[in-house]
C-alpha cells in the first residue's frame, strides 16, 4: 500500500459515511444545495426573469420554474454559447458538453467552472466504495479511464467537446501520474485508433482500475488480448495481463446484459462499482454496496433532483417530486437543477427506487427508449434485465441487442416486439430464449402482461451476425465515447440494421 492509498482511505471512509447519511435524510443536503445554486443565479438574466432570488426551498423551485427540455432551454443556452455573459450563470460559461443522442440532433450543454469542481468530487465518489477496503491499493499502478477525446473545439470564446473529454483535461495535477492512457492518446478523436493505441500502451502497464461504458470496455479488453498475442504473450484473459487489476467502474447502461461477457474477459472476480452519470449533472449516483445492485444518489454534489412519474410525463399537472418524496417501484423521469445554471431540466432518463430509507435507485433506461406502441410501457431497463435473464436461463451470452415494433397489418390484427440480438454464444434453443424473455417481462410489468393477453403477439428474436451493432454505430458516426446502441429502434435505425443483415 502506498502513502496516498492510506490517505485516500481515510477520506473515503468519511465520505462513504456522509453519502449513506444523506441517503437516509435527503431533504437537508438538497435544500442547502438548491439555495447555493439559486443564490449564484439570482442576478443573471434567467434568475431575474424567474425570480430565483426568492427561491429558498424545494417547493419554491416548483412554483418559480416549469419543467423544461432542451428545446425550452436552448434559446438561453445559445446566447451564452455565443459568448454572452450572465445569461443563466455568473460570468462566461467557458465549456460546453456536446451530447449527440440516438433520438435527437446535437445538444450543447453548459459546463461551468463550478460544475467541473463538482464533477471532480463526484469522480472520487465513484472510487470511495473500493477505497474503504483495507486491501485496496489503486495508487501503486495506473488507472484507466476510457472516455471521449480531450481535444476540444474552439467556438468563439468558448470550448466544445465531449463531457468526459472536458473532465479528462481537468484531472487534478496530483492524479495525472496515475492516469492512463497518456495525453496524446486521450486527444485522439478516431475511436478505433484510440482503442488500439490505448491497448498497446497499457498492455504492459501495472493497471489497477478500468473505467468506462461496458460495451466499449469489452472491445478495449479484446484489443488488449489481441495485442498481447501479437507480442508473443500467451494470455487467456485480462486478469493474466494485469495481475493487480482490482476495480472496474462502469456506467451508462444497465450492466446485466454485459455481466457474463465482462467477467469472462476479466478471468477472475474483482470489485465492480456501478455508476449513474449524465452530461447535464456529472456523477449522479454510485453503487456503495457490492451485494446490492442499486446506487446511492449523490445529494450534496452539483445536482438537485426532481422526479416525475413516467406515466405523468408531458401532462401539465405532472407531479414533481423531490428525493424525500419518492416511492419504491415507480419509474421516474429525472430532472436536475445544477451548478451550471441548468434548472428543472428533464435529462431524458428513467430511474426506479428500490428503497427509500436509505434511498437507492436503479437506472431504468431512456425516456425515448421505452416500448409503448400499444400501451405496454416497457422501459429500457426492463428490456435489459429480461435479456440478461433469458441469457442465463438458456446458457447464452449476449453482446448487444435492440428492439423494434411490428405494428398490425392487414391479415394480422396484433402487433409484436422484434428483438435483434447479437450473441457471443447463441442459445441451444432460440425459442426458449424468446419464451423466457416474454415470461420475465410479464412477471415484472403488469401493463405488458395485460397487452400480451389480448393485443400483443409473443416476441420474435432474430439473431444478427457478429459485429453488426458496431458497424451500425460506425455508419451513424456514433462509435466510442458515451455513445450506446439504442435499445428501441425507430424506423430509420431499423432500416439501417436490416440493410446490414441483408444477404449480399
154-175: per-residue pLDDT in tens? 999 999 988 888 988 888 777 7
- The Cα 404–Cα 419 span in angstroms is 7
Burial (CB < 10 A; 0-12, 13-18, 19+), residue 201, is middle
Q: Where residue 138 falls among pLDDT bands split at 50, 70, 90?
A: very high
Segment among 98-102, 396-400, 436-440 with least mean pLDDT: 98-102
What is the pLDDT at residue 425? 93
Angle at 218 between CA 214 and CA 222, to 5 degrees: 165
Q: Could you give the 3-state DSSP secondary structure of residue 164?
A: helix
Is the pLDDT higher at 105 or at 265?
265
Radius of gyration of the chain (CA): 23
What is the pLDDT at residue 102? 46
Mean pLDDT across 264-268: 94
Domain 370-501, CATH: 3.30.300
- The Cα 345–Cα 65 span in angstroms is 10
Mean pLDDT across 71-90: 96
At residue 234, does pLDDT exceed 80?
Answer: yes
At residue 58, does pLDDT exceed 90?
Answer: yes
Cβ distance 127 to 138 under 8 Å?
yes
Q: Could you give the 3-state DSSP secondary structure of residue 3?
A: helix
Closest CA to 448 of 373, 377, 348: 377
At residue 103, does pLDDT exceed 80?
Answer: no
User: How far, rounded to the nearest angstrom, does the alpha carbon of residue 289 sit from its chain's CA centroid?
Assistant: 19
**pLDDT tens per residue, range 450-492:** 999 888 999 999 999 999 999 999 888 888 766 788 899 999 9
What is the pLDDT at residue 61? 97
Mean pLDDT across 45-70: 96
What is the pLDDT at residue 466? 93
Q: What is the DSSP letter of 44?
A: S
Closest CA to 343 of 58, 96, 125, 117: 58
Residue 124 in grid coordinates: 472520487
At residue 218, does pLDDT exceed 70?
Answer: yes
What is the pLDDT at residue 173? 75
- The Cα 288–Cα 15 span in angstroms is 11
What is the pLDDT at residue 449? 93
What is the pLDDT at residue 344? 97
Prediction pTM value = 0.89
List the domain boundaries for the chain. 370-501
Distance in angstroms between the alpha carbons of the first and the last residue of the chain: 57
Residues 472/473/476/482 CA torsion (nearest 10 deg): 160
Percent of the chain with pLDDT over 90: 72
**pLDDT tens per residue, range 7-27:** 999 999 999 999 999 999 999
**pLDDT tens per residue, range 236-255:** 999 999 999 999 999 888 88
Q: What is the DSSP letter of 157?
A: T
What rounded mean pLDDT belongs to the chain? Answer: 92
Strand locations in 387-477, DSSP E?
397-406, 416-425, 460-463
Q: What are the distances in angstroms from CA 163 to CA 38, 153, 351? A: 24, 12, 21
At residue 448, does pLDDT exceed 70?
Answer: yes
Percent of the chain with pLDDT over 70: 98
At residue 137, does pLDDT exceed 70?
Answer: yes
Q: What are the distances in angstroms from CA 430 to CA 230, 257, 383, 424, 464? A: 36, 17, 17, 14, 13
Is the pLDDT higher at 453 or at 32?
32
Q: Where residue 504 falls among pLDDT bands split at 50, 70, 90?
A: low
Amino acid at each position: 500500500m502506498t502513502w496516498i492509498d492510506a490517505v485516500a482511505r481515510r477520506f473515503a471512509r468519511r465520505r462513504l459515511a456522509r453519502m449513506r447519511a444523506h441517503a437516509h435524510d435527503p431533504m437537508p443536503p438538497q435544500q442547502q444545495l438548491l439555495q447555493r445554486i439559486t443564490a449564484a443565479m439570482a442576478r443573471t438574466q434567467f434568475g431575474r426573469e424567474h425570480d430565483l432570488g426568492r427561491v429558498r426551498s424545494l417547493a419554491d423551485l416548483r412554483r418559480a420554474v416549469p419543467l423544461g427540455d432542451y428545446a425550452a432551454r436552448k434559446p438561453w443556452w445559445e446566447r451564452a454559447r455565443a459568448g454572452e455573459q450572465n445569461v443563466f450563470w455568473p460570468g462566461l460559461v467557458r465549456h460546453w458538453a456536446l451530447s449527440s443522442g440516438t433520438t435527437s440532433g446535437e445538444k450543447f450543454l453548459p459546463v461551468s467552472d463550478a460544475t467541473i469542481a463538482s464533477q471532480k468530487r463526484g469522480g472520487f465518489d465513484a472510487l470511495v466504495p473500493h477505497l474503504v477496503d483495507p486491501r485496496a491499493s489503486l495508487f501503486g499502478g495506473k488507472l484507466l479511464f476510457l472516455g471521449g477525446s480531450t481535444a476540444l473545439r474552439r467556438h468563439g470564446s468558448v470550448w466544445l467537446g465531449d463531457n468526459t473529454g472536458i473532465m479528462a483535461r481537468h484531472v487534478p495535477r496530483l492524479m495525472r501520474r496515475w492516469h492512463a492512457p497518456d495525453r496524446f492518446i486521450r486527444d485522439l478523436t478516431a475511436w478505433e485508433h484510440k482503442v488500439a493505441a490505448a491497448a498497446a500502451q497499457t498492455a504492459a502497464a501495472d493497471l489497477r482500475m478500468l473505467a468506462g461504458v461496458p460495451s466499449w470496455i469489452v472491445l478495449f479488453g479484446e484489443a488488449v488480448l489481441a495485442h498481447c498475442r501479437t507480442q508473443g504473450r500467451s494470455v487467456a484473459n485480462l486478469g493474466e495481463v494485469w495481475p493487480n487489476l482490482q476495480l472496474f467502474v462502469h456506467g451508462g447502461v444497465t450492466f446485466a446484459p454485459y455481466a457474463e461477457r465482462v467477467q469472462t474477459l476479466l478471468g477472475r472476480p474483482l470489485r465492480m462499482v456501478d455508476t449513474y452519470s449524465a452530461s447535464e449533472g456529472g456523477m449522479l449516483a454510485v453503487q456503495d454496496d457490492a451485494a446490492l445492485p442499486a446506487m446511492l444518489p449523490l445529494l450534496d454534489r452539483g445536482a438537485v433532483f426532481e422526479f416525475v412519474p413516467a406515466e405523468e410525463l408531458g401532462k401539465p399537472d405532472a407531479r414533481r417530486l423531490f428525493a424525500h418524496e419518492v416511492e419504491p417501484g415507480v419509474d421516474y423521469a429525472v430532472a436536475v437543477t445544477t451548478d451550471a445554471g441548468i434548472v428543472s431540466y428533464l435529462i431524458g432518463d428513467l430511474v426506479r427506487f428500490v428503497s427509500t430509507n436509505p434511498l437507492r435507485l436503479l437506472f431504468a433506461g431512456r425516456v425515448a427508449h421505452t416500448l409503448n406502441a400499444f400501451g405496454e410501457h416497457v422501459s429500457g431497463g426492463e428490456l435489459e434485465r429480461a435479456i440478461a435473464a433469458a441469457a442465463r436461463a438458456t446458457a447464452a451470452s449476449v453482446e448487444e441487442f435492440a428492439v423494434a415494433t411490428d405494428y398490425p397489418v392487414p391479415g394480422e390484427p396484433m402487433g409484436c416486439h422484434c428483438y435483434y440480438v447479437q450473441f457471443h454464444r447463441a442459445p441451444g434453443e432460440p425459442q426458449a430464449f424468446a419464451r423466457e424473455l416474454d415470461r420475465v417481462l410479464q412477471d415484472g410489468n403488469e401493463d405488458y402482461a395485460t397487452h400480451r393477453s389480448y393485443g400483443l403477439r409473443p416476441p420474435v428474436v432474430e439473431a444478427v451476425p457478429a459485429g453488426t451493432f458496431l458497424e451500425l454505430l460506425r455508419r451513424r458516426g456514433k462509435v466510442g465515447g458515451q455513445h450506446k446502441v439504442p435499445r428501441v429502434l425507430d424506423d430509420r435505425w431499423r432500416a439501417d440494421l436490416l440493410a446490414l443483415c441483408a444477404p449480399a
